[in-house]
Each structure stands twice: as structure tokens, then as C-alpha cells.
């Protein structure tokens, strides 16, 4: 089995700055998990007698990393201008009171899902229970855009305006409050858990 030199491993593991507050986006969480994997490889490099234990540890960390991608990495807040440049103009925009969206966020523990269906905004909780419009249901094959509840709450706090817009663009669904726009959602299905 080929193993890179310790110098290369150490250099690979240096790219995460844990004190940097911008390390809240999905790519950084993946990098932090990668850092932990690199650290485990460096430790195993120093002590080859524990190679079997390290392989099990690496496997466990890999599984945790893959699971954390789905649970914690839904969404990234951008400036409204940056979102317009990246995703194009808004085709459909639905207005919603920020206080209502905060209430829906409070009803879901980890993630909240959005879609615009027949010109109406649909919001689901983490178990795909319809929060808006109340009394409706959706099929399990209906595709929704999944954001973590914490990133939606952060958008509302940063935007700090009484109105939020759920926006359908050419290929993505975005959520805008004030001068901030949320995107980089996962799609459910297939990434529902």
C-alpha cells in the first residue's frame, strides 16, 4: 500500500484554520472532517503496530464524515448580488413574513425543506410533514430543497427584515431576507436523511 510522506500529509492537514468564523459553510465542514482523517493517517504513520486499529478508526471517521455532510452542510448564505451573479434572475418570488418562517424553523429540529408547487410555497419539516400549506400532503417522490434550520435562522438574523422571499430561479431555489440570499441546498430525494 502506498503512503505519502509525512511532510506531504502534514502539509495536507494544515489547510483548516479552526479559529476562522467563515468555517460554517459546507465545504469547510468537509475540510474539517478531512483534517481529522489526515490527522489519523499521520498518527498511524508514526506507529505501524497499531495499523489495524487505525484502519478501523479511519473507516469510522469516513462514515461519520459522510453522515455529517447530509446533516450539517445544507445551505450557504451569500450576498444578494452574488446570488444574482451565480444563479441568474429570479423567475418566481413568493413573499412570506419572516416571523412565520421563524415559527416553521422552530417546528423542525435539524432541517427544513422548501419548494414552489403550482405557484404556492410548500415547507416541510425533517420528517417531510407539510408545515405550509397546512392540511396538505406531498408525495414521497416530490423533490424539495433542504436547508439546515440553523442556516435559515442565521439568514433571518443577518437579513433582519420583516419579509422573506422564497425564489425560484432557473435551476435553483433561493431564500432571501434583506441583503442576504441562501442557496446550496441538498435535494430530497435522494438526500433526505
Q: What would the pLDDT profile of 101-131 be if each residue is shown by its tens digit?
A: 999 999 999 999 999 999 999 999 999 999 9
State the Cα–Cα distance between residues 187 and 191, nearest whole angstrom.
6
Distance, CA of 13 to CA of 191 (rounded, Å): 28
Q: Is residue 1 part of a domain?
A: no
State how far the Cα of 59 lies from the Cα of 127, in Å rounded to an integer.
Answer: 28
Q: Are residues 14 and 54 in the same domain?
A: yes
Query: By C-alpha distance, which of 40, 94, 33, 44 is closest to 67?
Result: 33
Task: Say what the pTM is.
Answer: 0.64
Do 30 and 108 have their domain in common? no
83 and 65, same domain (yes or no): no
Amino acid 55: pLDDT: 72
In a domain, 57, yes or no: yes
Asked if residue 21 has pLDDT above 90, the reply is no
Q: CA distances (Å), 24 to each of 45, 101, 109, 174, in order?
A: 30, 21, 18, 18
Sign of the CA dihedral running 7, 10, 15, 21: negative
Looking at the fold, whether 27 and 95 belong to one and the same domain comes out as no
What mean pLDDT do residues 9-24 have? 45
- Work out how many domains the chain is built from and give that number: 2
Tell me: pLDDT of 15 over 80: no
Determine the pLDDT at residue 191: 87
Residues 86 and 176 in one domain: yes
Percent with pLDDT over 90 in the chain? 60
CATH number where 126 lies: 3.10.150
Statement: residue 71 has pLDDT above 60? no
- Inside any domain, residue 193: no
**Domain encompassing residue 35:** 6-72
Amino acid at each position: 500500500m502506498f503512503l505519502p510522506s509525512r511532510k506531504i500529509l502534514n502539509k495536507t492537514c494544515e489547510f483548516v484554520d479552526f479559529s476562522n468564523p467563515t468555517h460554517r459553510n459546507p465545504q469547510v465542514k468537509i475540510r474539517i472532517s478531512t483534517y481529522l482523517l489526515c490527522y489519523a493517517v499521520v498518527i498511524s504513520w508514526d506507529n505501524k503496530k497499531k495499523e489495524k486499529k487505525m484502519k478501523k478508526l479511519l473507516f469510522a471517521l469516513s462514515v461519520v464524515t459522510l453522515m455529517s455532510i447530509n446533516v450539517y452542510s445544507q445551505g450557504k448564505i451569500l450576498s444578494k448580488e452574488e446570488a444574482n451573479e451565480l444563479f441568474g434572475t429570479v423567475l418566481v418570488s413568493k413573499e412570506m413574513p419572516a416571523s412565520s418562517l421563524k415559527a416553521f424553523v422552530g417546528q423542525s429540529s435539524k432541517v427544513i425543506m422548501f419548494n414552489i408547487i403550482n405557484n404556492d410555497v410548500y415547507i416541510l419539516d425533517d420528517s417531510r410533514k407539510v408545515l405550509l400549506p397546512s392540511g396538505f400532503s406531498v408525495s414521497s417522490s416530490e423533490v424539495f430543497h433542504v436547508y439546515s434550520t440553523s442556516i435559515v435562522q442565521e439568514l433571518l438574523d443577518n437579513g433582519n427584515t420583516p419579509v422573506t422571499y422564497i425564489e425560484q430561479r432557473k435551476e435553483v431555489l433561493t431564500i432571501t431576507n434583506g441583503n442576504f440570499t441562501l442557496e446550496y441546498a441538498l435535494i430530497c430525494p435522494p438526500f433526505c436523511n
